[in-house]
Structure 1
Amino acid sequence: MPINQQEKDIMSTYLADEAKDVEVEGPSATFTYRRMGPRGGVPLVLLNRFRGTIDWWDPEFLDYLATDHDVIVFDNVGVGYTNGEPRDSLDGFAEGAIEFIEALGLAQADLLGWSLGGIVAQRVAVRRPELVRKLIVAGSGPAGWVPGAPDMSEKVLGIMAKPDADTDDVLYLFYPETDAARASGQEHFGHVSTRLAAGGPAISEEAALGMLTAVGKLLEVPFDQVKAELESIKQPVLYANGLHDVMIPAYASYVAVQHLENATLVLYSDAGHAFLFQHAEEFATQVATFLAA
C-alpha cells in the first residue's frame, strides 16, 4: 500500500532512518545490515552501487519498498560498515553477497541490484540459482561489453576515478541536466543527509579502487560470454533504467532482455542512473507488482 502525502508530511523522519545497524558473521567478514518492513515471505535484499554504502540508499525509496516487504540492505565485504578485505572482481562481490545471504540463514531471497549491484545480482543468480527467486536489475546492465552501446565519456570516467566527487559530480552522473531532474537530485541529497550526518564510514579508497578494477575487467568480457550468462538466468527478471543514464546506457538494458528467458523492461524517459529515487513511489510500486506476480 503506497504511503500518501499526508502520511509523508506527518513523519518527522523516514522509517528507514530508524532501522538499526545489525551484524552477522560470515566466513570473510562481519557484515553490517539493516532490516525493515514486515517479516514473512521471501526477503528483498538490495545490492548497492559503485562507491555506495548503506547510508546512501534513499530512505524514501526504502520506505516505499518496505511497506509490504521484508527489505534488507547491507555493505559487502570491505565496504563501509562491513570489515574484511575489499574485493576487486565481479565474482568476488558475488561471493560476498552469497556469504551474506547464507549468514542470515535465508533459504531464498529476491535481489534488487542498482548499478554495479545489478551486475553482481545477476552473477549471484548464475552461480547460486537456488538462492534467488526473482531479480530486479536497476540502472545496470549485463556482465560485460554490449556491442552498439555508447562508451562512457571521459567526463564520467574522470568522476568515477575521483576520490572526492562533489555534489555537482554526483548530480551529473545520476540525473539528467534538466531543472526537474536536478531538483529531484537535490531532494535525494536531502533524504540521505540524516544518515550521512551521523558520520558513518565512507567507502575506503582501497574498496573504491577494487570496484573500479572490477568494472575495468567487465569491459573486456566478450559479448558471446555475456550472452551465455544472460541465457543461463531462468528466474523472472525486471530490468529498469532511465533513458538518460550517462553511466550504464539504457541500450544495455534493451540488449540484455533480448537474451533473458523471462524478463520485463521498464524505461523512464525523463530520468537517468538514479531513476529509482527520482521516481521512488512509481518504481517501488512496479517492484511490488513484479514480486507479487
Structure 2
Amino acid sequence: MSSYLADSAETRYVDGPEGERFAYRRFGRAGGRPLVMHMRLRGTIDHWDPAFLDLLAAEREVVIFDNRGVNFSTGNPPTSMEDMVEGSLAFIRALGLADIDVLGWSMGGIVAQGVALAAPDIVHHLVVAGSSAGGVPDLPAPPARTQQIVSKPVNVDEDFLSLFFPETEQAIAAGRASLQRLENRLRDSKAVVGPEAVRGQLGAISSFKGFWHRQEELTLPVLVANGAHDVMIHAYATYAMSQKLPNAKAIIYSDAGHGFLFQHPEDFVHEVNRFLSA
C-alpha cells in the first residue's frame, strides 16, 4: 500500500463543452489558489511522480488532468498546440476555476504558456519546467539518439531513464526510484497515451511555430527551470526565456536533465512554493 496522498486521490470526471469527459484528480490543502498541472508528451495523470505531487499538495490544492482524448479522458485527441490549450481551458472552465496558478512540464510547459496567454485574467503565476517557448532562436537540436528514442512507438523504462536523467550513478538511481514510485498507480491503471493521441502530440510539436514572439505578453510572474543536461529540450531555452520574459526567475540544476523535478523534488518544490507564495 502506497503512503503517498497522490496515490489515494480519487479519479473524478467533469463534462466538457463538446460532450467529452475530462478525467482529473484534485487534492491537497484547499482554500487557496489551485495549481493546475500540464503533462509532458506521452504522459498521463498517472505519470506525475507522487513524491513531487505530495510535496506540492502539502502547501496548496493540486489539480492534475488528462487533456481531451488522452488516456482516461474522452473526445478527439488534439493535433495542434492550439487544440491542447483549448482543451485545457475547456477543462478549467468546466471545473469553474477562475483564479489559478499553472505549471507545465515539457510539452505541458508550452501548453501552460498558451493558457496564460489566452486567459491572463485567471492565471496568477506560471511555472515552466523542462520546456521552451517554442521557436527559440539558435536552440540546439536534440541529439540523434534522443530523437530516435522519442520516435519509437512505445517507450520502456530504460528509454525514460535515457531521456530524463544524466548518465551518472546518482541521477540514474534517482530516476529508477522515481519510476518505482510511478508503479504505485501504473501497476493497476495501465495508463497510456494511445497511438492516435501520440501521433497528434508529435504532429503538434513539429508544426508549432512557437510563443517566442509573445514572451513579452507574459507579464505575470514566471518561474522557468530545467536540468543543465536536458537532452529533450536544451537548457538554453530556459535561459533564453528568462532574457525575454518581463518578470521571470530561472533555475538550472547542474547535475540533472529533463526529469530534474523528479530527481530533486524537495528542492524544486521549495522553490515553487516560495514563488507561488510571493
With structure 1 as the length reference, what TM-score do the two structures score? 0.92
Instruction: Give the residue type in structure 1 aligned to 2:157.
Output: T
Counterpart pick for 2:235 among 223, 233, 250: 250
Alpha-carbon distance in structure 2 between the residues aligned to 1:125 and 1:231: 12
Alpha-carbon distance in structure 2 between the residues aligned to 1:96 and 1:131: 16
Matched, 1:112 2:103: yes
Aligned residue in 2 for 1:88 = 79
Instruction: Give the residue type in structure 2 aligned to 1:276.
Output: L
Counterpart pick for 2:42 among 32, 51, 67: 51
Aligned residue in 2 for 1:278 = 263
Spell out, residue by residue over 1:53-102, the C-alpha distance to the aligned partner (whole angstroms, 9 max, x if none): 00110000000000010001000001111011000111100000100110
Matched, 1:229 2:219: no
Instruction: Give the residue type in structure 2 aligned to 1:231.
Output: E
Aligned residue in 2 for 1:261 = 246
Alpha-carbon distance in structure 1 between the residues aligned to 2:96 and 2:2: 34
CA contact (8 A) 2:136 2:212 kept: no
Alpha-carbon distance in structure 2 between the residues aligned to 1:71 and 1:62: 8
Q: CA deviation at 1:161?
A: 1.4
Alpha-carbon distance in structure 1 between the residues aligned to 2:2 and 2:116: 38
Aligned residue in 2 for 1:35 = 26
Alpha-carbon distance in structure 2 between the residues aligned to 1:226 and 1:188: 31
Counterpart pick for 1:193 among 178, 183, 186: 183
Counterpart pick for 1:75 among 43, 66, 74: 66
Pairwise CA RMSD: 1.2
Spell out, residue by residue over 1:107-131, the C-alpha distance to the aligned partner (whole angstroms, 9 max, x if none): 1210010000000000111111112
The runs of at least 4 consecutive aligned structure 1 residues that moved more than 3 Å come to: none
Instruction: Give the residue type in structure 1 aligned to 2:242.
Output: V
Aligned residue in 1 for 2:123 = 132
Q: CA deviation at 1:199?
A: 2.7
Aligned residue in 1 for 2:272 = 287
Aligned residue in 1 for 2:225 = 240
CA contact (8 A) 2:2 2:184 kept: no
Q: Which runs of 5+ in 2 are unaligned?
A: none
Alpha-carbon distance in structure 1 between the residues aligned to 2:182 and 2:26: 17
Alpha-carbon distance in structure 2 between the residues aligned to 1:79 and 1:131: 24
CA contact (8 A) 1:81 1:200 kept: no
Alpha-carbon distance in structure 2 between the residues aligned to 1:138 and 1:282: 14
SS for the counterpart of 1:136 is strand
Aligned residue in 2 for 1:3 = none
SS for the counterpart of 2:244 is coil
Instruction: Give the residue type in structure 2 aligned to 1:119.
Output: I
Give me the identity figure in percent.
Answer: 48
SS for the counterpart of 1:137 is strand
Kindly tell me: are residues 263 and 201 of structure 1, through their superposed partners in 2, closer, same or farther at Cα, counting changes over 3 Å?
same
Instruction: Give the residue type in structure 1 aligned to 2:224.
Output: Y
Q: CA deviation at 1:201?
A: 3.3
SS for the counterpart of 2:104 is strand
Matched, 1:175 2:165: yes
Matched, 1:151 2:154: no
SS for the counterpart of 1:265 is strand
SS for the counterpart of 2:7 is helix
Alpha-carbon distance in structure 2 between the residues aligned to 1:23 and 1:287: 27
Q: CA deviation at 1:153?
A: 1.9
CA contact (8 A) 1:21 1:33 kept: yes
Spell out, residue by residue over 1:162-206, the C-alpha distance to the aligned partner (whole angstroms, 9 max, x if none): 122121111010000101000001001110001001134311010
Q: Which runs of 5+ in 1 are unaligned?
A: 1-10
**Number of residues paired by the alignment?**
277
With structure 2 as the length reference, what TM-score do the two structures score? 0.97
CA contact (8 A) 1:42 1:109 kept: yes
CA contact (8 A) 2:135 2:212 kept: no
Instruction: Give the residue type in structure 1 aligned to 2:82.
Output: D
Spell out, residue by residue over 1:179-238, the C-alpha distance to the aligned partner (whole angstroms, 9 max, x if none): 1000001001110001001134311010001010011012xx2xxx74331111111000
Instruction: Give the residue type in structure 1 aligned to 2:165.
Output: Y
Q: CA deviation at 1:12?
A: 4.7
